[in-house]
Amino acid sequence: MKNAKIFKPEDIVGILPPLLTPFDENEEIRDDILRQEIKYMLDQGVHGVVPGGSAGEGNTLSIDELRRIVGITCEEVNGRTPVVAGIIANSTRDAIQRAKALADLGVSALQITPVHYIYKNDDEAMIRHFGKIYDAVGIPIIIYNVIPWNYLSVDLLIKLMKDNPGICGVKQSAGDLKTMADLLLRCKPESRIYAAIDALLYPTFALGAHGAISQILSAVPGPCVDLWNLVQKGDHKNALILHNQLLKMWNSISGDNRLAVTKYTLGLQGIPVGNPRGPLTPASPTQKIAAKAALEELLGSKIELMAT
């Protein structure tokens, strides 16, 4: 199975929503809903999609499940946009196994976290980790800088992008706008720095971020595309207005079970992706009311109750 087109790293820009993995009541993947979700994202004008990331519950997926999700995504996208596949693994060996399982599907890049179980790795270990993964599959890597106790410094990220041509960019998370600004200031022109700071997409775009890969894009892709387009046009007055609306939306989602509320919000738009796998709890009645109200305000119309 192959994409009709493999995009180069420099082509991976704009709004790149993580795909939410749809589950039934037994926590089994719903292929039909995944295809529906992908079509919806493309209809909203997104610039790429990211299956298997943290918003896609990639940490809960077996290798076979990850391959299945990424394969369906590549098939549905059919070369219209880049597909960036998420890998969340606790060892170099496991990351390589997952990367090899995806290598023939036609993804444009891999989004890979540092290892995340308790331990902090030194810089040389992280250099070896990402280098071995790239050597094994030759697919460009976007480092997902999100693990609090294994947070990669700006100096290390710049070194990784400079010394390893296979590392094409960084997805900067953790609400750290200063790190985002420093990465944009110091990275090579061909490197790509993506925002994963859901509450602050507008300032990251204004700073020159090359795009975004974050959970709010999964919940409301269309308005996020609109925000990107406004900033690219230099219309900062209307971009700020939309930012404030998106911030209200994110505030209604954000919480320890924000993935469940994100899934509920997408469900309100006719894509019934279900609940997260346990032990994450479903959205509460209070969260549902708040999310529905924020979505109605953001979209400017009443939302029929399509999700329970």
Q: Is residue 47 part of a domain?
A: yes
- Write down the pLDDT at residue 303: 58
When computed from its CA atoms, the radius of gyration of the chain, rounded to whole angstroms, is: 18
Number of Cβ within 10 Å of residue 239's Cβ equals: 23
pLDDT tens digits, residue range 176-220?
899 999 999 999 999 999 999 999 999 999 999 999 999 999 999
Q: Is residue 270 part of a domain?
A: no
Stated length of the chain: 308
Q: Is residue 16 part of a domain?
A: yes
pLDDT tens digits, residue range 67-115?
999 999 999 999 999 999 999 999 999 999 999 999 999 999 999 999 9
Number of Cβ within 10 Å of residue 279's Cβ equals: 6
Confidence of residue 143 (pLDDT cuts 50, 70, 90): very high
Q: Is residue 175 part of a domain?
A: yes
Closest to 218 (Cα-Cα) out of 58, 15, 11, 78: 15
Helices (H), the chain: 31-43, 63-77, 92-102, 123-137, 154-163, 177-186, 201-207, 215-219, 221-233, 236-253, 258-268, 285-299
Domain that residue 43 falls in: 9-221
- Write down the pLDDT at residue 302: 58
Closest to 171 (Cα-Cα) out of 277, 50, 274: 50
Q: How far is CA 163 from the centre of its chain?
A: 25
Q: Is residue 260 part of a domain?
A: no
Q: Is residue 54 part of a domain?
A: yes
Q: Is residue 296 part of a domain?
A: no
Q: Which CATH number belongs to the domain containing residue 77 in this structure? A: 3.20.20.70
Domain total of the chain:
1
Average pLDDT for residues 268-276, to the nearest whole number? 98
Confidence of residue 1 (pLDDT cuts 50, 70, 90): very low
Closest to 262 (Cα-Cα) out of 245, 280, 244, 238: 280
Q: Is residue 274 part of a domain?
A: no
262 touches 55 (CB < 8 A): yes
